[in-house]
Structure 1
Amino acid sequence: MNNASAPETEDDAANRQVEQVLAQIHALLCGAAIVPNAVQQQMLASHIRAMVMRSRTGEPLPEVDRELFDEISPHSMQLAEQVVASFGNLPIEEAYLLSVHFEVAKENQTTN
């Protein structure tokens, strides 16, 4: 019996990257005492999958109106920028969209 593993597929590599990014985000959020609920975690995971695919395919985001994100805290934006920077090839607009997940989790935590 051959124990050699099959070569990693593109899907395997993308899934592994999603898990790595989610682990990075978990560490950042834990350090900031932000705990997303189950629904927020699911939405975040879906968004990260899409970010990973855009990173791999080069698919651009539609134009983002930065003024829509004026109420996002600098802290949430900084966390999102760290995650987006780790990709190395995504535009800053990705951070705007990602920051919403962090801000909502933070706000829901303070209202509960």
Structure 2
Amino acid sequence: MMNQQIPKEREIINKSGNSELCIEVLTYSKKFLTTKKIIMTETQWLSFVSHISGMVYRSINMEAIPALEKEIFSEVTQDSIGMASDICKQLSNLHDDEKYLLSIHFESAKLN
């Protein structure tokens, strides 16, 4: 999906403030998802792209998300949190809680 970006995907990537970095993280993520044999629907992918774009924006603007109550993520597998953590490490200046939000994308894609 990365090579043939749909217009909506390009629009979301452009909002990141650094399209090149956003594409780099998305390319890494796509390879990561492939190795984990996780396939996202087009809607899930666009939601994921939007989240990564927001993460890139927060990273370069050093904006933190509000702290989360981690208990609400108790149903999320450690595998998904670990995958999200790995992708979050591709960017600097992110709040540690970002991985919990990102992990939801993996959990929902695993249900496909």
Q: In the TM superposition, what whole-angstrom CA distance separates every residue of 1:47-72 from its partner, at most 9, and x where no partner exists?
A: 11110000000111012111111111
Which one has the bigger helix percentage? Answer: 1
- Partners of 2:70 and 2:48 lie apart in 1 by 20
Matched, 1:52 2:63: no
Q: Which has the larger radius of gyration?
A: 1
The correspondence of residues 63-82 of structure 1 with structure 2, limited to 5 A, is: 63-82=67-86
The match for 1:23 is 27
Structure 1 runs not aligned, ≥5 long: 1-10
- Runs of 4+ in structure 1 over 4 Å off: none
Unaligned 5+ segments in structure 2 are: 1-14
Match of 1:96 among 90, 95, 100: 100
Shift of residue 85 of structure 1?
1.2
1:77 deviates by 0.8
- Which amino acid in structure 1 is aligned with residue 109 of structure 2? A
Give the percent of matched residue pairs that are identical in Structure 1 and Structure 2: 32
Output the TM-score relative to the length of structure 1.
0.82
Task: Report the counterpart of residue 35 of structure 1 in structure 2.
Answer: 39
* Distance (whole Å) between structure 2 residues aligned to residue 46 and residue 26 of structure 1: 14
